[in-house]
Amino acid sequence: MAKKAADMDSYLKGIIRDVPDFPKPGIIFKDITPVLTDSTAFKRVINAFVERYAGKKIKALVGIESRGFIFGAPVAYGLGTGCVLVRKKGKLPYKTVETSYDLEYGSATIEMHVDALNPGDDVVVMDDLLATGGTAAATCELVKKRGANIIECAFVVELAFLHGRKKLPYNVCSLVKYK
């Protein structure tokens, strides 16, 4: 299993593109869009998560706006389960449950439909990238407000040097880690 994880890490690092000085000077942005345009890479990522959660009776993949939707929906499909959307406030059409959290400068509010999860549902929270962990932690708070159980938080990429994992009191899976 460790070799398989190391192989995936190395494979994806060969595809993910570094974009210097985006969105501001000094930042090296990890661009996952080459993974999406490479059908083999995209399939490998989705299959890695489907294999990881197969047989675990997951009720839903909780995808974080917006790239979490890109990975969460096909993983949910592969598992034969639902996909719950967590979006920025005001983007969902039905009654919602919400939570606010602090950003580097200011705050943000995210929400999900009030009927998206039921107490006792086992879920995986998914996004493309774990950085500082604020959005993922807020998403976990929404899930807990509905009484659902978080089996794991899953990410394609983890920027481990930002220590976002420390904000998540759950198991964390990332296919690629930048230390």
pLDDT at residue 159 greater than cutoff 90? yes
Give the type of residue at 27.
I
Indicate the pTM of the whole model: 0.95
Distances in Å between the Cα of 112 and the Cα atoms of 93, 115, 147 are 10, 8, 13
Predicted pLDDT of residue 4: 83
Told to judge if 98 belongs to the known catalytic residues of this protein, a careful annotator would answer no
Q: What is the largest CA-CA distance in the chain?
A: 45
Told to judge if 17 belongs to the known catalytic residues of this protein, a careful annotator would answer no
What pLDDT, in 10s, does the model give residues 30-77? 999 999 999 999 999 999 999 999 999 999 999 999 999 999 999 999
pLDDT at residue 23 greater than cutoff 70? yes
The pLDDT-based confidence of 130 (bands split at 50, 70, 90) is very high
Q: Which of 67, 87, 146, 165 is catalytic?
A: 67
Distances in Å between the Cα of 136 and the Cα atoms of 11, 83, 152, 170 are 25, 16, 11, 11
Residue 166: give the domain boundaries. 2-178
Predicted pLDDT of residue 96: 98
Q: Which of 51, 52, 65, 104 is catalytic?
A: 104
Split into its structural domains, the chain has a count of 1
Predicted pLDDT of residue 1: 66
Which tokens in the block code for residue 130?
């774990």
Query: Among candidates 129, 123, 143, 12, which has minimal Cα distance to 65?
Result: 129
- Cα gap 8→2, rounded to integer Å: 10
CATH number at residue 122: 3.40.50.2020
Q: Please state, rounded to an integer, the average pLDDT across all residues of the chain.
A: 96
Paired with 81 in beta bridges are none
Query: Among candidates 53, 98, 91, which has minimal Cα distance to 71?
Result: 53
The average pLDDT across 12-24 equals: 96
Predicted pLDDT of residue 136: 98
pLDDT at residue 104 greater than cutoff 90? no
